[in-house]
Amino acid sequence: MHKASRVNQANISITATRWCNRRCTHCYIDPAELGNPYQMHESVFRSVFDSVAELVALDTGLEEVEWELIGGEITKLPVEYWERNLPYALNRCREFNAGFKTPGSINVLTNLIFANDKHRGEYVDLFNKYGDWPEMAIYTSWEPDTNRFGKNLKLMAPWAETVRSINARQKILDVILTKTTVAMGPDYLLETFLPLGITDFSIKMISPYGSGRTFWQPNMVSFKEMSDYLCRLFDIAPPGITFTPADEMSGAVFRGTSYQCIGNFRYDLAVEPDGLTTFNANQTTDEAALGDRKIYVGDKDWAYRVLADNTQELDNKLSRYHSYCFQCEFHSACAGGWYHYRIAEPADVRAWDSDDCPGYKQLWTKVKDRHGSFDPVQARHNAEMNSLVLMAQAPSRPTVHLEEPVESGPGFSDWLKETQGGSVKVLARCVYEKPIIQRIWAYQAVGTSTTIADDDVFALSSAEQRVLIEHLVYRDLPSTTVSARAVWTWVDTNPGDPLADLIARAEDDLLSKGLSSSDILVAGHNTELVRWVLRHSRRSADEEGHSTLHPLVGQLSRHLYLEDRAKARFDRRRLSH
Ligand code: SF4
């Protein structure tokens, strides 16, 4: 269930204004804000890119950036604003992409509803001027049930004409799975919108914030009905027409790439028109996820402060999931499905998940059946060998060893700066109120290695121990050292916990001839856990001799042997220089 390295993308929502010409009933924005005429100053707009560049340089786990130009309604701003700033954004995106394996886009979100033809024509011309840039993606929404198109959908026909008149390589239709859209079916979607030149559909669930909070439950359908809809769309979509989430799922199962379109971004930052930075782009004003103090673009140490204050959201993404996700084969990519329902009241979600889940397991299975899946055992070995090579190539510097302050100390973001690239002894209780797992995510992000002594592990609450052990055995914390004794003590003292039982059973069963090919332990999603048990087995060398009896155990043992041998070779070389 290794998942930390897959949560590697920032979504940066630059909200140029919150003002909007519509009042859609599902909107996640505080309705009061939709009348706020304040517009983002151009200097703030441009400095967002500089600030994010600092964050990319700082956070070793941040490998992709997607950008949203969003409101409210961005066409409220004079077209001249975007004539200057859209090409600026596209060029900056191109610069960022030069350093990434997976390129991001400037995603321009607009309702394409205009008061008059002049205004409409100016914006269509602007979008068409940049429509063939690979970085440019234009998004608009089809919403038959949210008041988007007014009484009797009278705004839909002119909207459709505007959509048709836009020439862009990436012309994407946002669709929310509600009772009405699901009832209309995916055939309607293709028949109605492909003729308008739509190339991709971005299909999401309702975000329960703003006026969307009251829209949510009355307009929900079961996850099974949503899955059926998406599976049918997967079957009938013509070649070249893609849709989210299936497109990202294909990469995740076939190549092991990340899957964050469900809101599971490493950072989901909104930059408000005044530069205020918040940590869940679907929450505004009183609902906004803020840091310890308000952070504005341009603040000194913005990147350190954002990294330090994002840990609550990041940990939600890495650690929170529904109980039935624990041994799901898709967990390491899916992580528990639509993010906003993982942090919602469970009772509001349980009502809808009797035959499928908020991750659409039925669709995952279908995607896997069509595309096949990558080999997680070999992929893990390759990743370990690559990281050994990178470590061997890194210039060796004296490491600063520090211990977390107990009585008083600098603010956490300043402490991160002080400890960056060094080594920290992490304590069960220290001056920082941030939970231990969140502090570890932050240390790991800035390249600081961590050690936790046994006594500190035992002094943690049972919930803190559980989450720490789970991330350790699934290799989400490669730069954290905890003794095997501490982990085995936790396993021995927590019988009945599904994770403890799995680790305990692994110790017994991996050495037995009776392990069947369908056993959960030989399923790919447990690769890291099985490797941990083999590496830290309490069995005698004599008993270990049987470990090659099962083919998987033999393969993993060989990988571990090769990695140990390579590490010893690199260590010898380093010492001799
Ligand atoms: S597919 Fe469903 S059960 Fe599996 S991890 Fe995702 S939400 Fe959980």
Ligand 1 binding pocket mutation candidate from 262, 322, 525 (most atoms within 8 A of CB): 322
Asked if 137 and 131 touch (Cβ cutoff 8 Å), the reply is no
Does the beta carbon of 263 lie inside 6 Å of ligand 1?
A: no
Given this model, what pLDDT does residue 524 score?
A: 85
Given this model, what pLDDT does residue 98 score?
A: 97
Predicted TM-score (pTM) of the model is: 0.95
| Residue 333 CA to ligand 1 centre (angstroms) | 9
| Residue 321 CA to ligand 1 centre (angstroms) | 8
Average pLDDT, integer, range 374-396 = 89
Q: From the alpha carbon of 331, which atom of ligand 1 is closest? A: 5
Asked if 40 and 92 touch (Cβ cutoff 8 Å), the reply is no
Given this model, what pLDDT does residue 554 score?
A: 85
| Residue 248 CA to ligand 1 centre (angstroms) | 15
Given this model, what pLDDT does residue 184 score?
A: 98
Give the Cα separation of 170 and 474 in Å (integer): 37
Per-residue pLDDT tens over the stretch 353-384? 999 999 999 999 999 999 888 899 999 999 99
Average pLDDT, integer, range 509-524 = 72
Least confident of 50-59, 249-258, 402-411: 249-258
Q: Which CATH superfamily is domain 4-371 in?
A: Aldolase class I (3.20.20.70)
CATH 3.20.20.70 intervals, the chain: 4-371
User: Band of the pLDDT at 391, cuts 50, 70, 90?
Assistant: confident
Average pLDDT, integer, range 95-99 = 97
Q: Which amino acid is at 298?
A: G
Q: From the alpha carbon of 357, which atom of ligand 1 is closest? A: 2
Given this model, what pLDDT does residue 163 score?
A: 98
Strand partners, 15: 70
Per-residue pLDDT tens over the stretch 492-513? 999 999 999 999 988 888 766 6
Mean pLDDT of the chain: 94
Give the Cα separation of 474 and 453 in Å (integer): 20
User: Band of the pLDDT at 295, cuts 50, 70, 90?
Assistant: very high
Contacts with 288 (C-beta within 8 Å, 6 or more apart), sequence order: 270, 278, 279, 280
Q: Count CA atoms closer than 13 A to 433's CA, side-chain side.
A: 2
- Backbone phi, then psi, for 501, in 5-degree steps? -65, -35
393 vs 131, higher pLDDT: 131
Average pLDDT, integer, range 308-330 = 96
Given this model, what pLDDT does residue 515 score?
A: 67
Average pLDDT, integer, range 536-561 = 76
Per-residue pLDDT tens over the stretch 252-265? 999 888 899 999 99
CA dihedral 493, 498, 504, 506 (to 10 degrees): -170
Given this model, what pLDDT does residue 35 score?
A: 93
Q: From the alpha carbon of 335, which atom of ligand 1 is closest? A: 5
Given this model, what pLDDT does residue 510 score?
A: 76
* pLDDT of residue 60 exceeding 90: yes
Per-residue pLDDT tens over the stretch 198-230? 999 999 999 999 999 999 999 999 999 999 999
CA dihedral 199, 203, 208, 213 (to 10 degrees): 80
Per-residue pLDDT tens over the stretch 26-45? 999 999 999 999 999 999 99
* pLDDT of residue 1 exceeding 90: no
Ligand 1 binding pocket mutation candidate from 2, 226, 231, 334 (most atoms within 8 A of CB): 334
* pLDDT of residue 321 exceeding 90: yes
Average pLDDT, integer, range 425-441 = 97
Give the Cα separation of 95 and 379 in Å (integer): 30
Given this model, what pLDDT does residue 518 score?
A: 64
Contacts with 374 (C-beta within 8 Å, 6 or more apart), sequence order: 253, 254, 255, 256
Share of the chain above pLDDT 70, in %: 96
Average pLDDT, integer, range 557-562 = 94
Query: Within a 10 A sphere around the Cβ of 117, how many other Cβ atoms?
Result: 10
Per-residue pLDDT tens over the stretch 456-481? 999 999 999 999 999 999 999 999 99
Given this model, what pLDDT does residue 575 score?
A: 74
Ligand 1 binding pocket mutation candidate from 331, 356, 360 (most atoms within 8 A of CB): 331
Token code pair at residue 91: 């060029």
The single residue listed with the structure tokens 């076939």 is 254
Q: Count CA atoms closer than 13 A to 1's CA, side-chain side.
A: 25
